[in-house]
Amino acid sequence: MIPFANTYARLPERFYARLAPTPVAAPRLVRLNTALAAQLGLDPDDLTADVLSGNLVPEGAEPMALAYAGHQFGNFVPQLGDGRANLLGEVAGRDIQLKGAGRTPFSRGGDGRAALGPVLREYLISEAMHALGVPTTRALAAVTTGEPVARETMLPGAIVTRVASSHIRVGTFQYFAARQDTDGVRALADYAIARHYPDVSGYKAFLEAVIARQAELIARWLLIGFIHGVMNTDNCSIAGETIDYGPCAFMDAYDPATVFSSIDRQGRYAYGNQPRIAVWNLARLAETLLPLLADDDDQAVAIAQETLSGFGRTFEAAYFGGLRRKIGLSVERDGDNALAQDLLTAMAKNQADFTLTFRGLCNAAVKPERDAAVRDLFVDPSAYDAWAARWRQRMAFAFETPEARRDAMRAVNPAYIPRNHNVEAALNAAIENDDFGPFEALLTVLSRPFDDQPGFARYAAPPAPSERVHQTFCGT
């Protein structure tokens, strides 16, 4: 028996629509995350294909679709909501949601379903992000539905069971603020504080805490070359977790202007723009909280602006601290941030692979003759040589042994990321041939991203020119 609770159901009825998932024809379990199930205290025998597809609603679950609004590529949409997702409830304090579970009152004409490719992508990327140490939603299971879904072509349907600390978004607050429903904003804020920020006191402290978590999250994204792709306010979790994996991707060659999402035609959510967009999203959250921050409008705005200014300090501390660790500098000295930034500049000019450059530095930190693997990544190897000479001068002031420095660097510089060409190959095998072997193999490798894994070198290699993925798609 699954021990469900649903504290969100205690909120007013205008916060959600109660409805059960739409049954599917022939559910088949293709992946169960038994390790995550154990963490949640769940018996895998209870997690049947019928339960994980929504055909059978477990006792104690209170299925619902949540209401929210959001800015999508800068344009405000006053009603979005869970158009294909169904929150069953909470287990061990974590939300359990079926994504692709059928139409809801928020579907806006959509079919409420998900195709197999996006379901497997979310499973792979979210679990890889977890292994990389990035706060994220998790994937508990993936099932196929036995029903096709129509996109540009007919595709196999599927449902992913998503586990999250919270499904409250910036857009959830916007939903009530847009309706001038201050009581709704207050009720939502009180709920979010009680459940997700029990150690903070007051609405200003709540806003500060959300800002801090988002700043640290975006820094972590940049440090592993991750590009979310759709940083709309309805995809921005107040719990500080990465949520809604659509056209997300990882960079190969370093370039701050990198964009993969087919719908991001202006580069709004490019890799290097993500900190700025996060601040923009958080400013929208602050706007919804103005009536709660002070009775006087000008005073409330001043409080919000002062609080938002904390993003930059927190982000820079997390980002530059992470960059220093990536190049083996555990104690900060003047000039360290510039040294790290100069490496990124040289990488961008020389089309150097982001992940392989930093991973290669781990061995180069032990012996200079191991530089070859890194310098070969640069179109002009002399650009690396010039930077490496300065790097070694700086490391002469470090206290660790070279071997200790290498081990510390390996703990923050992954050897394996979900490279786009490997992800696409795994998804295509499942979609076209019902072959989940490549998916399982990739998932296994990505579960240990910081370990050298003999026999799996091809998963660490960048794509050949013919394998490069230039666009990723949302899948809705």
Last residue of a domain, one of 164, 179, 200: 164
| Residue 22 within any structural domain of the chain | yes
Which positions ≥6 away from 169 have C-beta within 8 Å?
Answer: 68, 70, 233, 234, 235, 236, 237, 238, 243
Q: If you search the block for the tokens 């806006």, which residue do you land on?
A: 108
Contact 27, 144 (CB under 8 A): yes
The structural domain count of the chain equals 2
Mean pLDDT of 414-436: 97
Among candidates 383, 314, 313, which has minimal Cα distance to 347? 383
- Residue 397, pLDDT > 90, answer no
| Residue 37 within any structural domain of the chain | yes
Same domain, 13 and 146: yes
Residue 393's pLDDT band, with cuts at 50, 70 and 90, is very high
Residue 386's pLDDT band, with cuts at 50, 70 and 90, is very high
- pLDDT, the chain, mean: 95
Same domain, 47 and 71: yes
Same domain, 86 and 113: yes
Same domain, 176 and 111: no
Among candidates 283, 289, 235, which has minimal Cα distance to 263? 235
Among candidates 210, 180, 196, which has minimal Cα distance to 288? 180
Mean pLDDT of 166-186: 98
pLDDT for position 475: 65
pLDDT for position 195: 96
Residue 164 φ/ψ region, left for φ over 0, alpha for ψ in the -120 to 50 degree band, beta for the rest? beta
pLDDT for position 16: 97
Same domain, 153 and 185: no
Same domain, 181 and 302: yes
pLDDT for position 46: 94
Same domain, 14 and 90: yes
Mean pLDDT of 91-97: 97
Catalytic residues: 234
| Residue 25 within any structural domain of the chain | yes
Q: Looking at residue 87, what DSSP letter applies? A: E
Residue 281, domain extent: 170-320
Mean pLDDT of 153-166: 96
> Would you say the C-alpha torsion 129, 134, 140, 145 has a positive or negative sign?
negative
The predicted-structure confidence for 218-252, as pLDDT tens digits, reads as follows 999 999 999 999 999 999 999 999 999 989 999 99
Contact 158, 119 (CB under 8 A): yes
Same domain, 137 and 156: yes
| Beta bridge partners of residue 99, listed in sequence order | 85, 160
State how far the Cα of 319 lies from the Cα of 196, in Å rounded to an integer: 24
Helix (H) or strand (E) holding 387: helix 381-395
Q: Which of 62-76, 321-335, 347-361, 386-400 has the lowest mean pLDDT?
A: 386-400
Mean pLDDT of 419-443: 97
Contact 112, 149 (CB under 8 A): no
pLDDT for position 369: 74
The predicted-structure confidence for 253-302, as pLDDT tens digits, reads as follows 999 999 998 888 889 999 999 999 999 999 999 999 999 999 999 999 99
Same domain, 157 and 238: no
pLDDT for position 372: 84
| Residue 293 within any structural domain of the chain | yes
| Residue 356 within any structural domain of the chain | no
Mean pLDDT of 431-456: 96
Last residue of a domain, one of 139, 164, 189: 164
Amino acid, res. 100 = G
Residue 469's pLDDT band, with cuts at 50, 70 and 90, is confident
Q: Which two tokens stand for residue 320?
A: 């530059």
| Whole-Å CA distances, 221 to 248, 312, 338, 376, 417 | 11, 15, 20, 26, 12
Last residue of a domain, one of 297, 320, 343: 320
- Residue 321, pLDDT > 80, answer yes
Mean pLDDT of 331-344: 95
Q: How many CA atoms lie within 13 A of 312 on its CB side?
A: 5
Could you write out the DSSP letters of every residue in 185-239? HHHHHHHHHHHH-TT--SHHHHHHHHHHHHHHHHHHHHHHTEE-S---GGG-BTT
Mean pLDDT of 27-41: 97
Mean pLDDT of 343-359: 97
pLDDT for position 399: 77
Q: If you search the block for the tokens 């009825």, which residue do you land on?
A: 13
Q: Which of 65-69, 159-163, 453-457 has the lowest mean pLDDT?
A: 453-457
Same domain, 93 and 230: no
Same domain, 218 and 288: yes
CA angle 411, 415, 417 (to 5 degrees): 110
| Residue 353 within any structural domain of the chain | no
pLDDT for position 199: 96
- Residue 476, pLDDT > 70, answer no
Same domain, 239 and 282: yes
Scored b (16 or more CB within 10 A) or e, 319-342 reads bbbbbbbbbbbeeeeeebbebbeb
| Residue 471 within any structural domain of the chain | no
| Beta bridge partners of residue 91, listed in sequence order | 94
State how far the Cα of 275 lies from the Cα of 313, in Å rounded to an integer: 12
pLDDT for position 470: 81
pLDDT for position 240: 97
